[in-house]
Every structure is written in C-alpha cells, then in structure tokens.
Amino acid sequence: MFPVETHELTKRYGQLVAVDKVSLTVRPGEVYGFLGPNGAGKTTTLRMLLGLVRPTSGTIRLLGREPGHLDGIGALIEGPAFYPYLSGRENLRVLARHSGCPPRRIDIALDLVDLTERAGDRYGTYSLGMKQRLGVAAALLKDPKLLILDEPTNGLDPAGMADMRRLIRRLGAAGKTVLLSSHMLGEVQQICDRVGVVSGGRLIAESTVAELRGGARLRVVADPVDEAAALARSLFGEDRVHVEEGALVLDVEAGKAAWLNAELVNAGIDVSELGVRERELEDVFLELTHVG
C-alpha cells in the first residue's frame, strides 16, 4: 500500500483546468517533493488530498483509504492559525485538547521541531521560521505516518530554511512519509528522495532527483573539435554528442571516459581536458517546464 496514490486526479474551475489528470505515487518512508512554478496546481492537489477541495474527476487513496479522513495524517497547508498571546506550548495544548491527543505528545512534538527552549514564549514573538516549525509541531501532535506540507520553506530566510530542511530530513529519517510542495528546486534537491514535477496542472515527470538529472555528462576539450565530434558520434550516436562553447558534451555515463579518451588519442586527436559535468536540476526543470 502506498501512503499517497492518485489516479488521473483533475480539478476544473470553470474553463480553467487547475489540476489535469495527475497520477502520482508517494512511497512509504520517503520525502517526496511536489515541485512546480507558482500556479502549477500544487496547493489545489494537496487540498484535494486532504478532502478540502472536491476533485472534478479521478481517484485518491490516502493510507489505503478514500480522502476526507485524517487518521495517521498531519498537514500544514495554510499558514497555521495560532493565538499570538499564548505561548507555543499553550497553543499546542489547545490543539491537543481539541483533537484528543495525549498531553505528552506536546513535548515530543516541540522537541522534534527544536522549539523546546522557546516553548514558553508567546507565539506573537516568534520568527517566521519558528512559526512554521510550530505549525509542523501541530501537524505532528497525533504522531502521523504521513505529513503533508504545503511550501514549508516559503518566505523563510536562509537560516529558517536550513532549520526547516534539517527538520524535514529528521522526520524522513524517523520513518515518516513526507509529501511537500515547493517552487524552489534547490530545496527539493537537498531534502527529497523523489520528486514530481508539475506544470500547468500536469505531472510531467516523477522520479528520483538523480534520475531526473539524467546522470552525468562528459565534457571533452579536444582538437580538432570537428573530428572529435564526428568520432564521438560514430561511437555513441548523433543525438548524444553536442558541441558547446568549443567543447564536446556527451550524454554518456562517466565510466566511458577512459575508453573515449583512448579512442580519440588513437585517432590522433589531441585531448586537453576530460571531465564529468553534473546537470543541474535547475536546467532539467527549465527544460521540462519550458520556463525562462
């Protein structure tokens, strides 16, 4: 059973298709990044998962059940609503009483989000990062198996982002399944096991970060470059060899480097540089979404 599974999930608002046949799968224990530019349909999808928005069509299974239940699920979807004049701990106490969860969970949750020391301070005095972390603590009160976080790092300063990243990684390491949305590639790249890329309401890729990057590329500086390109094309095929800024760029695995070097040298071509070039997720994302 997958913690989250959707099949052709669709939401229309009049003529606008906000979410278009999205079929995604979040696996147990992974941190899954739902990635896309603003307006791509991320929040609408998460809201459908939580039963806050009714899908136009398609199906959802959440922890093996229809959506609408929150058993085993913690969520932070809009800025959390806390009382500014109560402390962090008192705010959680109110929520715990409401949802009938044992008071000891409050300190556990505060500890998980690193707010124990400031738990007695009024919420109104918290930084944005602390407010977000208290929101995550609230989502953790019932010790959920699955956490759904909408843009958890949005608006945070670099230190706040780093804290949130550490927290999410810790939750992942503790065996929780985390589904988070983000429009920031750098974030997703650093904390997620797998990503789903959404653009214009459609899921256009779903894979590990490494797979999405498509592995490494080889970069070769050779002279004469035309001869080197012709030889490389005969070895690897037309499509996998490009000349960029006077250098060969090859879509082949790094393990082929030594062999390629030998072939070029044997053909009398002078190789002055040969290296592995990682593709940035940013480039892949731009290629996929055709933005920029």
Ligand X SMILES: Nc1ncnc2c1ncn2[C@@H]1O[C@H](COP(=O)(O)OP(=O)(O)OP(=O)(O)O)[C@@H](O)[C@H]1O
Q: What residues make contact with ligand X under the rule CB under 6 A?
A: 13, 16, 18, 36, 38-44, 183
Q: Is 11 exposed, middle or buried (0-12, 13-18, 19+ CB in 10 A)?
A: buried
DSSP-assigned beta bridge partners for residue 5: 25, 61
| Least CB distance to ligand X at residue 30 (A) | 21
| Least CB distance to ligand X at residue 237 (A) | 37
| Least CB distance to ligand X at residue 183 (A) | 5
Q: Which of 40/96 has CB closer to ligand X?
A: 40
| Least CB distance to ligand X at residue 143 (A) | 27
Q: Which of 16/81 has CB closer to ligand X?
A: 16
Q: What angle separates helix 104-112 from helix 128-140, to the nearest 10 degrees?
A: 130
Q: What are phi and psi of 188, to 5 degrees?
A: -65, -40
Residue with structure tokens 């928005």?
A: 53
Q: Which of 87/189 has CB closer to ligand X?
A: 189
Q: Which of 137/203 has CB closer to ligand X?
A: 203
Q: Which of 37/72 has CB closer to ligand X?
A: 37
Token pair for 6: 């959707």
CB atoms within 10 A of CB 1: 8
Q: Which of 13/83 has CB closer to ligand X?
A: 13
| Least CB distance to ligand X at residue 76 (A) | 14
Give dist(CA 197, CA 182) in Å, integer: 10
| Least CB distance to ligand X at residue 239 (A) | 33
| Least CB distance to ligand X at residue 282 (A) | 18
Q: Which of 41/88 has CB closer to ligand X?
A: 41
Residues in the chain, overall count = 292
